[in-house]
A and B are shown apart, each in its own frame.
Chain A
Amino acid sequence: MGKFGRCFMDDFMRFIIKRLGITAVLLVIISMIIFWICQLMPGDAVDMMLGGIALQSLGETTVEDLRKELGLNLPVYQQYFKWASGVIHGDLGTSYIMKAPIAPLVISRLKTSLLLAVPASLMMIVCGLALGIISAVKEKTWIDNSISFVSLSMLSVPAFLTGSLFIYIFSVKLNWIPPAFNAINMEGIGFFQMMGSYFGILIFPSLTLGFESIAYVNRQTRASMIEELKTNYVRTAVLKGVPPRSVVMRHALRNGLLPAITVIAFNVGQIIAGTVIIEAVFSYPGIGALMVDAIKFRDVPLILATMLIISASYVFANLFADILYTQLNPRIKYA
């Protein structure tokens, strides 16, 4: 490795470390905000666990003991440190409603959600980029116009309408998929069986989840590709007889991809957050549904855990995009 290479690695490592540091600080602040907002909730854990009638019959001393046992008599910052050190050690606390440790529950729910989110993200990247490239190459033809029209209307449609339409067509009319997904048992199923059932049923919620993001990626790719296709270097490549496919895929796409990457990363975060709606539509037992339940039952430790996980994945998606962006764009100096 020459001098240049070493320099580059140093810069790159410094950049990564700095980015990771910023992300860590951001996560701590986010967790503080979430924790603090949850403290504003009227009533505390003991009220929620016991309910009004039990509170009266138990008397003040027992209730106070229980508060002490749960650490609710401590000041807020001490409660936060207690919770945060638990989180760092992988202990997300105990759910008030389910009376069970949260970490295993959240992890299994996260797995079922990723079964939707990962394919949805892949679909977004492949379909979004492909449609964007096609409409940029065929700019101002009927193909481009119809793709643009469809993607614009995709942005005006709420995700639950797409989901309800899928359920109506494929469940009510064609009877291909169950109307509610909470009855499907995913545990103990082999990989191939899982893939089989995936393509049979889970493809619909995934597609719904990725729908809006496909439109965003498509629009950004189209815009940046149209710009790239007008540049001098593309014209040079065309004039010197490079095959058109190669001009688009090897010359223009490399630069046109950069703005799309930011949009893709942003939308990976949106997809993770979007599971909340999709899981409500399909009655799918994922982390989004768990969060909605936690909020409805005012189960503070569960709200904290699910919020933290969803926000963290959102932050990590953006971190990943940042790193990828600087890696792919040599013009950016590591600042």
Chain B
Amino acid sequence: MVKNNSAQTVIKKIISGLLKKNITPNLIIGGILLFGFVFIGIFAPHVTPHDADEMHYEHLKETPSTTFLLGTDRYGRDILSRVIVGTRTTLLMALTSTLLALFLGVIVGTTSSFYGGVVDIVLMRINDIFMSFPTLIFAMLVIGVLGPSMTNGIIAIGIIYAPRVTRVVRAQALNIVHLEYIDAAKVRGEFSLYIIFREMLPNLWPTIIVEGSIRLGYAILLTASLGYIGLGPPPPTPDWGLMAYSERGYMFETPWPVFAPCIAIVIAVIGVNLFGEGLKDILLAKGSRTKEAKV
């Protein structure tokens, strides 16, 4: 009932899903938005109409015009350029922290389900303790101690999302840990690490990828929120949350500096969520989750 889903098979599955026109509009729209943002992020300094940090003193707090497509902020910096460069920090933080959370979550989740017994109980209790902190509050504490910077933001978000990934991965791993092929590997005398990474992990990839796409959406929102309360990258950095916060006092003159980065956040999150839904349709075909749960 469980097919061999190694990493290549997952990619093949995605490609064959695409070829079989198993694609939903969600996947297309989400994919375009997500990879659009990634593309913009990679080539950010080359696609901005102006330098993101250049101050045009004769154009302060302007509304959109042909020169400044989204207007300028209180220092006369071009908002569109700053939003484009801001893609970089936000996506980099969100993606890296999601990967960190997945990495930690997969390790703890698989270990916990594989060994079971006391190991499982202890790890899950620790997991529960970390889950009883609100995400934003815990991230604030970690950043408060380590100091606000991109790396520390990544560590904070990664740590706080890891227990949530662990839970999902463990639940799925518990379904396969009792199957014959795992027993066979044990009887063959394989090492635990081999069984976890070569026998169990391939069947967990679809779950991990879908969970990763869900986490990425949350991570973008959390990154932006941290930036907003001033615990993201420090001020001159064009960060979406920070831009929205630092310009909010000038809304009486022009609302663009506040709303432009916010809209970018919304589009990015919607893109990630749609893409995740599309991936879910391909990887976890309808009913497959419940079917596997009965195994």
A: residues with CB less than 8 A from B are: 26, 29-30, 33-34, 37-38, 40-41, 152-153, 155-161, 164-165, 167-168, 172, 179, 269-270, 272-274, 276-277, 280-281, 291-292, 295-296, 298, 303, 307, 310-311, 314-315, 318
Contacts and interface: CB of A to CB of B under 8 A. Distances in A.
Interface in B136-193: 136-137, 140-146
A37 B245 contact: no
Contacts of A41: 144-145
B248 interface: yes
A179 B132 contact: no
Given A29-B129, A295-B144, A161 B252 contact: no
26 contacts: A153-B266, A156-B217, A156-B269, A156-B273, A158-B224, A158-B241, A158-B265, A160-B225, A160-B262, A161-B244, A164-B251, A164-B255, A172-B251, A172-B252, A179-B252, A270-B134, A273-B136, A273-B137, A276-B229, A277-B225, A281-B228, A281-B248, A292-B230, A295-B140, A311-B133, A311-B137
A318 B258 contact: no
A313 B263 CA distance: 32
A160 B244 contact: yes
A26 B134 contact: no
A21 to B, nearest CB: 14
B141 A37 contact: yes
A165 B251 CA distance: 10
A168 B259 CA distance: 10
B85 interface: no
Contact of A157 (B136, B241, B266): B266
B231 interface: yes
Given A156-B217, A292-B231, A310-B137, 5 more contacts: A37-B145, A273-B135, A273-B136, A274-B136, A280-B245
B29 interface: no
A156 B145 contact: no
A240 to B, nearest CB: 32
B227 to A, nearest CB: 10
B225 A314 contact: no
B265 A161 contact: yes
Interface of B: 129, 132-137, 140-146, 217, 221, 224-225, 228-231, 241, 244-245, 248, 251-252, 255, 258-259, 262-263, 265-266, 269-270, 273
Contacts of B217: 156
Contact of B142 (A26, A37, A158, A172): A37
B145 A276 contact: no
B269 A273 contact: no
A159 B132 CA distance: 22
Contacts of B129: 26, 29-30, 33
Contact of B229 (A152, A269, A280): A280
A295 B231 contact: yes
User: Which one of B221, B248, B273 has the greatest number of beta carbons of chain A within 10 Å?
Assistant: B248
A257 B143 CA distance: 38
A164 B146 CA distance: 29
B251 A179 contact: yes
Contact of A164 (B137, B143, B259, B270): B259
B66 to A, nearest CB: 24
Given A168-B255, A311-B132, A315-B132, A160 B228 contact: yes
B134 A168 contact: no
A30 B129 CA distance: 7
Nearest to A161: B262
A158 B259 CA distance: 11
Contacts of B248: 164, 167, 281
B229 A277 contact: yes
User: Which one of A34, A165, A272, A295 has the greatest number of beta carbons of chain B within 10 Å?
Assistant: A295
A160 B227 CA distance: 11
A311 B225 CA distance: 18
B132 A307 contact: no
A156 B245 CA distance: 19
Given A160-B262, A292-B229, A315-B132, A276 B137 contact: yes
A30 B224 CA distance: 26
A41 B265 CA distance: 32
A40 B251 contact: no
Contacts of B269: 156-158
Contact of A291 (B140, B142, B244): B140
Contacts of A270: 134
Nearest to A167: B251
Given A179-B251, A280-B228, A303-B144, A160 B245 contact: yes
Contact of A296 (B145, B230, B258, B263): B230
